[in-house]
Chain A
Amino acid sequence: MSHEAALHNHEGHGHDDHGHHEHHDTFLTKYVFSQDHKMIAKQFLITGMVWAVLGGLMSVLFRLQLGYPDSSFPWLESLLGKWAKGGQITPAAYYALVTTHGTVLVFFVLTAGLSGTFANFLIPLQIGARDMASPFMNMLSYWFFFTASMVMMSSLFVETGPFSGGWTAYPPLSALHDASPGSKTGMDLWLISMALFVVSSLLGGLNYIATILNMRTKGMTMTRLPLTIWALFFTAVLGVLSFPVLLSGLILLIFDRNFDTSFYLSDIFVNGVGALSNEGGSAILYQHLFWFLGHPEVYIILLPALGMVSEIISVNSRKPIFGYMAMLGSLFSIAILAFLVWAHHMFVTGLNPFLGSVFVLLTLLIAIPSGIKVFNWLTTLWRGNIRFTPGMLFAIGFVSLFISGGLTGIWLGNAALDIYLHDSYFVVAHFHIVMGVASMFGMFAGVYHWFPKMYGRYLNNSLGYIHFWVTLAGAYLIFWPMHYQGLAGMPRRYFDFSIWESFKQFADLNRFISTVAMIVFATQILFLINFFYSIFKGRKVTVLNPWEANTLEWTTPINPGHGNWPGEIPEVHRWPYDYGKDGHEFIPQTTPVGADETDTH
C-alpha cells in the first residue's frame, strides 16, 4: 500500500468517526456555524442571493428615475422617505443607489456569491477530498463575509445615507466628509465593510489553494482536474495576490479621512469649508492601488464562470471539452495578464502616454486567450449531441454574452478610443454584458447544474427555460442599445439628462430600457420561487448521476453527509472528459483505463 493510500485510509477513518457525531449536530452547528464545505457553500449562495435581490431592486429604482425623470411615484416616498420627497428620487439617493448597486453586485454577489459558493461546493467534491484544508477557516471566511454584509446593510440606514461616490470610491470625493453627504458616516461603514470582506476573501482563497494543491485524491493529477477546479484555483490565486493591495489602499484612505494624513490629498479647497491643510498627496495613487485589485477582480468574477461553463458545455454536449490544455493555458495567461493591465482604467487620468501605450498592448493581448476559449467552446459544441438542460442553456447564453461583451473590450482597451468612450454608457454596456450578466449566467448555469447535488432535488425545468429565455433576451434588450448611447457620448452616473442638449435625445430609449429592466427583475423572482420551492418540494433525485457526468461529485450519495463519501474516497484513473469515447456514452473518472482503450489526453 502506497503512502498516499494509507493517508487516505486514515483520513477516511477519522471522518467516519466524525460522521457518527454528525447525528448529534445541533441546529446551530449544522446550519449556522457549520464547518461542512457544502453547508458553507449554501450559506454563501443564499447570502449572495439576498444581496442580488437587493442590488437588483436598487437598479430598478434608479432605472425608474432614468426612464421616467418627470414622473413622481408616491409609493417611492413611502418606501424611501426623505430620499424620495414628492415621489421622486433625489440625486443623493440616486447616487447612493448606484454606488451600493455596484459595490454589492461586484463584491458580495459575483465574488462571494459566485466563487464563495462554487469554490466551497465543488473543490472538495471534484478533487475527491472530505472537506477543505481548514474547515474552521472556511467557516470564518463566511462569517467575516456575513459581518461585512451586515455593516454594509447598516450603512443604508445612516442619516446622511450610504456612500454615494461610485463603487470605485475615488478620493478626494471619498476622503472628504464635506464633499458629499455620502462621504460622511456612510463611507466609514463602507470602508469597514470592505476591509472585513477582504479578510473573508483571503481566508477563503488561501483555503481553496491549499485544498487543491494538497488534498487531491489518489490519481487526481493536476491535469486530470476538471476545468472548474482550475478556474477556481486561478481565481483564488488572483484574489490572494490582489486583495491585500486593495486593503492597503483602503487603509491609507481611512488614515486620510480620520487622521489628517495626505496620502491622496493635495491642494484642496472645499466649498463652504475653505482650503485644507493637506499638501503633497496624489489622488491618482489610490486609483493605481484600487485597480491593481480592481482589474484582477473582474477576472475573479469571470473565471469561475469560465470554468463552470466549460464543464457544463462538455457534459451536455456529450463530448470532451476541446483543447483541455489550451483551455488551461488560456486560463493561466488570463490570470497573468490580469495583473498587467490595471492602468487601462486610467488612460484619461493624465497617465504618461508611453505607459498608456504599454497598457494598450497588454490589454489587447487578453483578447487572444479569450478568443481561444470561445473557439474551443464552439468546437466542443460542433458535432456533439446537445442536451438543453437549463444549466446548458445558461452556459450557451454565457458564451454569447462573453463574445458580445468581450469584443467591446477591444474598443475600450485601445486608448485612442477610450479617450472618447471612457465613462460613457458604452462602458456601462461593456462591463455589464461581459462581467455582470455573463458571470451571472455562469452562476445560474452552476446553480441549475449542481442543484441536484446540493439539495437532492431537481429545479423545475419549465421555469428554468422561461427564466433563461426572458433573461437572455432582456439582457440584450437592456444593454445593446446602451452602446448607441455611449457612442453619443452620454456619460454614466448622470441623475438626469434633460438639461443636456447633447444627450437628451434618448429619453424614449431610457424609458424602454427601464421597462425591460423591470421585466427581467421580475423574472429573477420566478427563479427565486423555483429555487426555494424546489429545495423543499422539488422532484426528488433518484439516480446518483442525473446528468451522466464523469466528475467525482456524482459518485457521492444523493445527499452526501459531512465527509462526502461514506466509505473510502474513490481513486481517479483518467481525465474528466471521456464522453463518447470508443462508443461509450461516458466514462467516469473512477473507471480504470481498459486494456484496449485508445490513448487520449
Chain B
Amino acid sequence: MSTGPRLEMIGVRKRFGATVALDGVDLSVLPGECHALVGQNGAGKSTLVKVLSGAHPADQGELRIEGAPYRPHSPIDGRRRGVAMIYQELSLAPHLSVEANIVLGVEPARWGWLDRRETRRLALEALAQLHHPEIHPEARTGSLTVAQQQIVEIARALAIGCRVLVLDEPTSSISQRDADQLFVLIDRLRGQGLSIVYISHFIEECKRVAQRYTVLRDGRTVGGGAMADATPAQIVDLMVGQKVGHLYPRSARTPGEEILSLEGLAGLEKPSRADLSLRRGEVLGIAGLVGAGRTEMLRSVFGLDPVRSGSVRVGAYAGPASPARRWSQGMGFVSEDRKNEGLALGLSVADNLTLSKLERIVLPQRQDSAARKWIELLSIRCRDSSQCMSDLSGGNQQKIALARLLHHDVDILLLDEPTRGIDVASKAQLYQKIDDLVSRSGKAVILVSSYIPELLGTCDRIAVMCRGRLGPARPAGLLDEHALILEATGEAA
C-alpha cells in the first residue's frame, strides 16, 4: 500500500463561459484522514465538488487517486473509481426500501434476476459497518429521519467500495445530537482507512472532525495546514482576504418613521424567532448562512409561508398576510429563485413587469408603454417588451424582477439574494438603484445576501441570522466581514 496521498488535485482550473469558477486549486488528502474544505459562498467549493464527482470535467490541472490519474467523465464513473459524494440534498429514492437504495445502480443479479439474499447481505454489512443496526433494510426510505437517510446514503457509498467520501454541508439539516453521532461515525470510518473531504461553513465542526484543512477563496487555494495549529480567527482571515471597494454608491440617507416591524416572528420550521424594525430611507441587511432561515423569514412576512407565532406590522396594519394584501399595502418581494418563482419565464417581459398591478381591463399598448419606461430607465437589454422572458440574460431578468416592484411603486422592498448569478455590471446598476430608492424616494429595503462585502457596502444596518434566530441589527459601520462570518457560523458567542 502506498503511503502517498489518497487524493490529489494540482492546479485545477474551471471556467463557465466568461466566469472563472476555479482558478488554481490544490488539495491533497491522505488515507485515513478527514480533510476540511472551507470558504465563503461563491469561493468555488461546489464547483470543486462537481469536478471531483465527474459532473464537470476540469479545464486544466491534474487529479490523481493513489498516484494514478483520475479523470472521471461522469458521476457514475467517479463512483466506480471510488469517489462518492453525499450532497446537502440527499439523492435517495424515497419510495424504495433501504436495501434497494443501498444497492441502487449496482444491484447484485444472477441472469438478470435480482439476488435478494446478496442484496440483504450487502445492506446489512454496510449498515453494520456504520454501527446503525436500528435502520431496517426493508424500511421505506422516505419514512426515515433525515439523519438516518444520510446514514443510508453513506452505506450506499460503502457498498460500492468508495475510497474517498465527500460530505457537502452534512449537518445543515440535522439536529445537534445527530451531528455528534455523525462525527463519531466519521472518526470510525477514518480509522478504517477511508479518506473524507468535509465541507462546512461551521469552523467549530471542522475543528472537531478534521485533521487538516484547505481554504478556498475566489476559486483558489489560499492556505491550509494542520487543524490543531489553527485558530478559527486565522481560518476566517484566510476566507475573507482583501476587500472590494467603490462598487457601492452611498448617498446621504435620513431614516424616517418605522414602516415594518416583526415581533417574535416564527415560521413552521424557520425562523424560530425574528424581531426587527425597518424605517423609511434605510437598507437593512440580513446576513447568515444558506439554510439559516433568512428566505423563510421574508416569505413569512410576505404571506407566502405560514406564520406560527409572532406578529408582522406593515405601517398600521397587523392583520393576516397574503401576497395580494402585501402588494396593496405597498410591499414587494424579489425571490431568490428567479427561474421558478421570481419570474414566469414563459411569459413576455411586459406581462412579468405588470403582473402584480393589472387593471380589470388590460390594454397591451398601455402595458407596453409602462414596460418601455422601465426597460429604458434600468437599461434592460431586450428586443421589445413582447419578448419572451426566457430569452433574456440572468442580469436582465433580475432587473425585470426588480422593475416589477418599482412599477408597483412599493414602499418596502424585500430583496432575497438579488445579485446572485448576475454579472458585475448589472450588480453595480442594482446597487445604484437601491441607493436611489432609499436616499431620494424614501423607500425601505431589506436585503438578504450571502455575499458579505455587498451587505457592508449597501446596508445601513445589518442583522445576522444563525440557525433560525435573528440577531440584533447593528450599524454597518461598526461591523466587518470577520465579525459577521463569526456570528453567522455561531462562533461569536
A binds B: no
Contact residues of B with A, CB < 8 Å?
Answer: none
Contact residues of A with B, CB < 8 Å?
Answer: none
